[in-house]
Amino acid sequence: MQPAIDRGPLRDTLPRTRTMAGFFKSLFNKITNRAEIDWDELEADLIGADLGVRPAGAIIDELKDLGRKISAEDVVETARRHLSAKLPADAPALAPRPDGKPFVILVVGVNGTGKTTSTAKLGNWLKKKGHPVVLAAADTFRAAAVEQLQRWGDRLGLPVVKGAPNADPSSVCYNAHQKAISDGAHFLLCDTAGRIHTRHNLMEELTKIRRTIAKQDETAPHLTLLVVDATTGSNALQQAKEFHKASPLDGLVVTKLDGSGKGGIAVTIHDQLGIPPRFIGTGEEPDAFSVFEKDKFVQEIL
């Protein structure tokens, strides 16, 4: 019979999701039930959790330097320390503009990453803090995308500005901005189309949206968030590079952390491009959304 695994002091900090628990289980099995550590396998596991090749190597070197039989706790604590060192401090709070004009947030990213869902969740989060919010349905390429945002707006009680089918996304943003200004909204959130990041014309469209938004407030947009799906791994780094070239990114929304323990990609993006994680998506429901907090994030992804 297999002896029960004693998780000792880690018990209280163990992640709760299925996949992450799976990562732990295999880690405990590999380390606890074997006479010799297979360092290559452990390094591959860390890379597989999207911690990055160089950080994984550094973690392994540090563990080897301990010069004793390592425990699963050693691995986790060392990995957490490395991740912490590469992540920014907690995300700064979002505050309304002192000039009374709306704080404009552009939500960008490739299709399916969770832009529309995250736009709605962020709107809901701001509304709960007492801020009037306007949503702009600027993904005008797909009628379904406009309807999807409208459904969220109806469900959450948030006004949605739409255009005619195939309307120019810039004009939708312009109209929504105008409404946000005249309604005295604190925040305008623009949900954009899922640009295929290699398609130049779509990136140009993003530039045009930025220019149009600046017409009514030259300081806008105030924040551009790239939505990345944590389950896509290193692909997200490539997306961040392409978008960052076309439209300077201020932060990340890291989605689908409920579906995978692989939040490591956010660490890599911040490390390589200096774009900090700002928000975290952990499910399809509106409340499955939180502001990035470094310690919590590190605990949850490892």
Ligand X SMILES: Nc1nc2c(ncn2[C@@H]2O[C@H](COP(=O)(O)OP(=O)(O)O)[C@@H](O)[C@H]2O)c(=O)[nH]1
Binding site residues, ligand X, CB under 6 A: 109, 111-117, 194, 227, 255-256, 258-259, 281-284, 288
**63 or 193: whose CB is closer to Mg ion?**
193
Q: How far is the CB of 150 from Mg ion (least distance, A)?
A: 12
Max distance between CA atoms of the chain, in angstroms, equals 71
Binding mask 113-152 for Mg ion (x = CB under 5 A): --xx----------------------x-----x-------
Least distance in angstroms from the C-beta of 243 to ligand X = 13
* Binding partner at 221 among ligand X, Mg ion, none, C-beta below 5 to 8 Å by kind: none
Q: What Å distances lie between residue 289 and 6, 144, 211, 273, CA to CA?
A: 32, 23, 30, 24
Task: Find the residue with minimal CB distance to ligand X.
Answer: 281
Q: Which does 159 bind (CB under 5 to 8 A by kind): ligand X, Mg ion, none?
A: none
Q: Does 189 bind Mg ion (CB under 5 A)?
A: no
* Residues 33, 17: Cα–Cα separation, whole Å: 23
Q: What are phi and psi of 100, to 5 degrees?
A: 85, -10
Name which of residues 145 to 184 contact Mg ion (CB under 5 A): 145
Contact yes or no for 301/231 (Cβ under 8 A): no
With contact defined as beta carbons under 8 Å apart, do 76 and 83 qualify? no
Sheet holding 277-281, edge to edge: 160-161, 133-138, 187-192, 103-108, 223-229, 251-255, 277-281, 289-291
Q: For residues 169 and 194, which CB has a smaller minimum distance to ligand X in the complex? A: 194
Contact positions vs Mg ion (CB under 5 A): 115-116, 139, 145
